[in-house]
Structure formats: structure tokens, C-alpha cells
Chains A and B, each alone.
Chain A
Amino acid sequence: MTAAPVMMDEPESLLSSIRAARSGDSRAFETIMLATERRIASLAWHILGDAEEVKEALQETFVRVFRHLDRYDDQRDFFGWLYRIAVNVCRDLDSRRRRWRLFLPIEHAAEARAREVDFVMKDDVARMMRAIDQLPRKERFAIILRDIEELPTEEVASILGSSPATVRVQISNARAKIRKFMESGR
């Protein structure tokens, strides 16, 4: 808890922390969290767009990482594996949020929508956010990982459990929809 933030650019130091954490060293696991938390939080923020949900996603991701650390193959990219878990956690949270939205009282839903519309009309960035949030989930995740997190298509495909060709199609569709949405607002 008192550990100072550390930058771990060297994969070897990260690997040694992973090995130590596997054998139950909680300090080593804290080091892993310090080295990865901002990237995971950024991903969760882009997907979820809510600070409280980002904290929840971050916490759940690290719990799952610790639980499944034995399954991680040292030969593969740790961040790819970590992103896959984080995307799954965000997907679960996103599903839960959509379920809850169905049960919102009508007046609350209308109020929320009015607020959102007002917010959307403020500027292009907000409109872009709105456009991305309206995409189907697979396209949304693909474009966030590819265009916002700037991961290579192959890695996005690996994280989402799809083929690179599928991801390319999803990204292309998503871009077209975003463009259409942006043009319709002008």
C-alpha cells in the first residue's frame, strides 16, 4: 500500500514480479498493479466513460489477474493478456449497466437523455464520444482498442477473440457509422 509508483519498462523486471506474485508475494503483485494500472484504467475509461465504473473495472481486473496468474504464459505479451481480462471485465460491467438502464424509471430516463443530448451538442469531441457509445459493442471495443488505444489489428483480434479480418471489418463499419453520425449533426 505504501509502495511508491514504479515504472517497469523492462519486461524482465515485470516477469520477475509475475513469478514472485505467482508464489503468493503480495508486494510483487502490488508492483505489477503499479506498472499496469494506468493503462488498464485508460482502456476502461474509454470503454465505460464513468470514473466509478473505471475503479470497479480496475479492481475486478486485478483480482482476476491474480486468480489466473498461473495461466499466463511467460512467452507471450503480458499486456495483451492483461487487456483481454480488462476487456472482459468492461464487457461485463457494460452489460450490467445496459440491463439496469432498462429498469430506470421513465422520468429519470428522459431526464438523462435530455442531459446527454445537451452535452452532445456542446462540441465535436462530445459528439464523437456519443457516436462511439452508440456503436454495437463489438465495433465499439474494436475501434477503442485499435484507434484509441492504438493497438495493432492482430493484437486487437487476439484480445477480442476474433480474426484480424473480422476486426478490420468491424473497424471499417464503426468508422463509417461515426462519420455518418458526425455529419448528421452539422
Chain B
Amino acid sequence: MTDFRGPLPLRDSDFAEVRREVLAKLERRRPIAPIVFRVALATAAVIALVFIFLPRPQPPAKLPAAVHKTVPIVAPPAPAIEVAQLPPVKSSLKPRHKAEQVVASTGGPPSDTDITMNIQTADPNVRIIWIAQR
């Protein structure tokens, strides 16, 4: 059974050829790795040196501390209390609630018994009008 295919059909020259091919293949492969490794290593070294020795751009000089001091934004002081000096507010907007309706309906100067306080807030769109009896 061991000889079922007959003798091995390869001669010594065939074996020599195989060995030669194998060694040539190995030689072709081997130098690639060290060359690639060396090139990669050299590139990494150059990049590292460039990072170390290259002058870096200076950060912008710091401004004096005073400049950086935050200025508190203060709402413009509202006029304390204007008593019956402002002209009556005429609004083109439809009154939305009763209190405004009262103000809107007063129209003319307030009576002597009323005190009107017109307070301007920091928001120009918001004005507080307070009407109280004396």
C-alpha cells in the first residue's frame, strides 16, 4: 500500500530547484521589514525633533488686569417717581388685562387723589405704571 503511487517522480535537481525558489522568496521578503521599520523610525525621530526644537508661536500678551475687569452692567437708573408729569400713555396695543384698561381709560391727568408712579425698568419694553390713591 505504501507504494500505491509508485516512486517519487522528483529528481535531485527538482529538489534543488525548490530550495532555490524558497530561499529566493524568503530573501525577497526579508529586507522589506527592516527597511520599512528603519524608515518609520527615522520619520518618527525627525517629527519628534521638529516638535521639540521648532519655535512655537508666542501666545498673545496678556492685557492689563484692569482691562479684563468685568464692568457690571447696571440697568440705567429708573426715574424715581414721576408724579403726574408724564403725558398719558397712548398705546396702540389692545389692552390685555384689567389693570391696563384702568390706566388706559384714565386718559387725562390723574385726579388729585391718585398717585401715578411711572417706573422705567432696564428693559425699554417694560414700564411699570403704578396708580394708587393718596
**Please, which residues of chain A bring their CB within 8 A of the CB of B8?**
38, 41-42, 45, 54
* Cβ-defined contact, B4 with A1, below 8 A: no
* Cβ-defined contact, B26 with A37, below 8 A: no
**Please, which residues of chain B bring their CB within 8 A of the CB of A38?**
8, 15
Closest to A61 in B: B22
Contacts across chains A and B counted by CB atoms under 8 Å: 71
Complex Cα–Cα for A12 and B9 (A): 31
* Cβ-defined contact, B22 with A132, below 8 A: no
Count of chain A residues with a beta carbon within 8 Å of a chain B beta carbon: 30
B22 to chain A, nearest CB (A): 4
- Give the residues from 46 to 71 in chain A that come closer than 8 angstroms, CB to CB, to chain B: 46, 49, 51, 54-55, 58-59, 62-63, 66
Q: Is B127 an interface residue (CB 8 A)?
A: no
A149 to chain B, nearest CB (A): 8
Q: A30-B19, A125-B3 are in contact. List 16 more A-B contacts (CB 8 A).
A: A24-B30, A26-B27, A30-B23, A37-B18, A41-B10, A41-B15, A46-B5, A49-B5, A51-B10, A54-B8, A55-B10, A58-B15, A59-B18, A59-B25, A62-B18, A148-B2
What are 12 inter-chain pairs, A to B, with CB distance below 8 A?
A1-B19, A34-B19, A38-B8, A45-B10, A46-B4, A46-B5, A49-B5, A62-B18, A63-B25, A63-B26, A129-B4, A147-B2
